[in-house]
Structure 1
Amino acid sequence: MDGNSTMPGIADNFTVMPTIFPRSGYSILSFIMFLNAVFSICNNVLVILVTLRYPQLRNPINIFILNLSFSDLMMTLCGTTIVVSTNYYGYFYLGQQFCIFQGFAVNYFGIVSLWSLTLLAYERYNVVCAPIGALKMSPKRGFQGLVFIWLFCLFWAVAPLFGWSSYGPEGVQTSCSIGWEERSWSNYSYIITYFLTCFIIPVGIIGFSYGSILQSLHKLNRKIEQQGGKTNPQEEVRVVAMVLFMVLAFMICWLPYTVFALIVVINPQLYISPLAATLPTYFAKTSPVYNPIIYIFLNKQFRSCAVECLTCGHIQLESQEENTESVQVQNTLNPKTNQVAPA
């Protein structure tokens, strides 16, 4: 297939432009993405292996964490590793069909990761804050959540293949994604609905869920104090900081991507430089690196298992660190085990 021909699901502006960015710039991007890929693959493979090895980690809540690591790993393998190579050459040399594949895969696995974080936050809220008798997390409910995530996200990834928007080269032309810069009503309508379902709704659910958890913790602390008990203010501050860190990381990853898309819709005539168009997508590609750190490695139970696994059982973290948690935090964020706690 010739490099200038077009096909369904790909933007009409597929071109090879090796001089769109300085050669040194491509080399820097290639090196940064190489580091990104190495850390992402190591982190997420470790999460998957440790979760499968230790039965105590295989619980309904952790189904979403395992799903998050799998989707992040696939996004890295199908997206970041390819970008390392294409930046090294200075252009997307793999052709149109591979461009479609990369755009589809990164879009699909990226949305799966986003919605895994969303349902994880909601289920934590449901366990901690829902009234007695509410539907609690179970393996069946967890798998139903996974089916919803993969099917719902598949729709948004497949739609550009059938003409609702398209996949094509983006930014400095070394990676492919949704054709954000395509000026058409089909693309605008896709971007707007994509923005609502894959950013606004998840942000709303995550904000509501973690905000409610923090309120529950605060109310429990006040109740204990009124009854003459002792609380640990530092623990409350730690949980607040952890929740803010989660939300901030989520916004850093997805907000630039969303803002860029909306700018294209609001002001179609605005010129956006290739570098400015590239940065949001590279921010999104960093999420597989820090997601395991925020949601998994900061969990004491998982950290203990990971250290034991990496050292072949020679080093076991003292279980005393689990006992330093205050009683009220255990009751609020750990109603069963610390799989519900933010950390």
Structure 2
Amino acid sequence: MENDPPTATVTDAPVVFPRVGYSILSFLMFINTVFSVFNNGLVIAVMLRNASLLQPMNVLILSLAVSDLMIALCGSLVATVTNYQGSYFIGHAACVFQGFSVNYFGLVSLCTLTLLAFERYNLVCRPKAAFRLSMRRSLQGLLFVWVFCLFWAVAPLLGWSSYGPEGVQTSCSLAWEERSWSNYSYLILYTLLCFIAPVAIIIYCYFHVLKSLRKLNRSLELQGGHSRKSENDHAVTMVLAMITAFFVCWLPYTALSVVVVVDPELRIPPLIATLPMYFAKTSPVYNPIIYFFSNKQRLLAPCQGHGVENEVENGVVGGRMKRGG
């Protein structure tokens, strides 16, 4: 009808950022994409070519590598091209697909990190618990993670919230700026269950892992076990690296989510709204290094021709966590 207002599309979005700013973002996303694809692709290739590496804990890391690779391909790669162009020029359907993909695989990565933290907590702090990590248990946990995250990623496609351009209008995600009770109700539950809850679980688990490792180190010092203490020092360092990388990548995004939920009328500047999303997109670079390549047992196992069963039974993070005695 002639009197109907024109419908805006992602290609109609006004330029909200200087040209040089888009160029910088494009370059950073290009570097991020290259390292993310290489690191995670290598993890996947090494694991699939060496069946001995497919142990229960490593299956979780393989799942993490797959979801991180998809974040790079669906998020960082697209952001490289659109930032180079200076606008989201590939259309509304691509915007919705990117928003869905990045949301889904981002949540899968975050929840897999939570699952890894929980299993390491059980391994270090509750080694004699009734349940032990097994392949069946790992696969059940991953099935829950992928289905749980799929629900929250599909909901906006069905009308509960929506996907659209974010920040400087060169990438797409959840419509954080949409002002409606439907969107607000989704964001409240999404923030609580998909961000705050995982963050709380990770903090709790790694706090107790660090506490147990430091207690073990004091015991080893008294026994004169310098070699074992050195390995446990490495484990402590890697746990701290996990925590630091997690917060650098995800805390800004979580903080933005909380701010939007607490004050839905707050208008956030485009650049401030964009940065947390870009920090989250860097996680696929760090995760393979921290969770896979830092582990000598995983890297040497293919050359030595044997598995890493001992790493699953005794290991935690980069080195093997050994108990005194």
What range describes the TM-score normalised by the shorter chain of this pair?
0.7 to 0.9
Which residue of 1 is the match for residue 122 of structure 2? Answer: 126
Q: 1:337 to 1:47 in 2, by over 3 A?
A: farther
Aligned to 2:323: none
Determine what percentage of the aligned residue pairs are the same residue.
Answer: 58
Encode CA deviations 1:13-40: one digit per residue, 9 max, x unaligned.
Answer: 7452352211111111111111110000
Closer/same/farther in 2, CA of residues 90 and 335 from structure 1, 3 Å limit: closer
**Partner letter of residue 138 of structure 1?**
S
Question: Distance between the aligned counterparts of 1:31 and 1:305, measured in 2?
Answer: 36
Moved more, 149-158 or 181-190: 181-190
Distance in structure 1 (CA, Å) of the matches to 2:19 and 2:219: 62
* Residue in structure 1 matching 2:76, options 80, 93, 97: 80
Q: 1:169, 1:179 within 8 Å by CA — same for their partners in 2?
A: yes
Letter paired with 1:276: I
| Structure 1 unaligned residues grouped into runs of 5+ | 6-11, 309-315, 317-321, 323-330
Consecutive unaligned residues of structure 2, counting only runs of 5 or more, are 1-5, 320-325
Distance 1:133 1:258, change over 3 A: closer
Counterpart position of 1:22: 18
Q: Is the 2:114–2:198 contact (alpha carbons within 8 Å) kept by the matching residues of 1?
A: yes
The one-letter code sitting in structure 1 at the alignment partner of 2:180 is S
* C-alpha contact 2:239 2:317 (8 A) present in aligned 1: no
In the alignment, the residues of structure 2 paired with residue 124 and residue 287 of structure 1 have an alpha-carbon distance, to the nearest angstrom, of 20
Partner of 1:245: 241
User: For residue 326 of structure 1, what is the aligned residue in structure 2?
Assistant: none
CA contact (8 A) 2:156 2:163 kept: yes
TM-score with structure 2 length normalisation? Answer: 0.87
SS in 2 for 1:336: helix
Q: Which is further off, 260-269 or 35-44?
A: 260-269
Cα displacement (A) at 1:196: 1.4
Deviates further, 100-109 or 217-226? 217-226
Question: CA 1:133/1:177 → structure 2, altered by over 3 Å: closer, same or farther?
Answer: closer
Of residues 305, 313, 317, the one that matches 1:341 is: 317
Alignment of 1:286-297 (within 5 A): 286-297=282-293
> What is the match of residue 173 of structure 1?
169
Pick from 269, 280, 289 the counterpart of residue 265 of structure 2.
269
Corresponding residue for residue 3 of structure 2: none
Judge which range, 191-200 or 108-117, deviates more: 191-200
Instruction: Give how far 1:244 is off.
Output: 1.8
Post-superposition CA distance 1:318-337 (Å, at most 9, x none): xxxx9xxxxxxxx9xx5625
Given candidates 174, 179, 198, the residue that maps to 1:183 is: 179
CA shift for structure 1 position 269: 3.5
The Cα of 1:138 is off from its aligned counterpart by 1.1
Give, in angstroms, the shift of residue 70 of structure 1: 0.2
Instruction: Give CA-to-partner distance per residue, 1:88-125, whole Å, 9 cap, x none.
Output: 11111111111110000000000000111111111122
Q: Distance in 2 between matches of 1:133 and 1:27?
A: 53
Give deviations 1:169-206, integer Å, cap 9, x for gaps: 00110000001111222222222211111122212222
Aligned match of 2:90: 94
Task: Pick from 230, 236, 258 the counterpart of residue 225 of structure 2.
Answer: 230
The 8 Å contact of residues 128 and 335 in structure 1, kept in 2 or not, is answered as no
1:140 and 2:139 aligned: no
Secondary structure of 2:172 counterpart? strand
Distance (whole Å) between structure 2 residues aligned to residue 79 and residue 335 of structure 1:
33
For 1:37, the aligned partner's letter is T
Q: Secondary structure at the match of 1:208?
A: helix
Rounded Cα–Cα distance in structure 2 between residues aligned with 1:271 and 1:264:
9
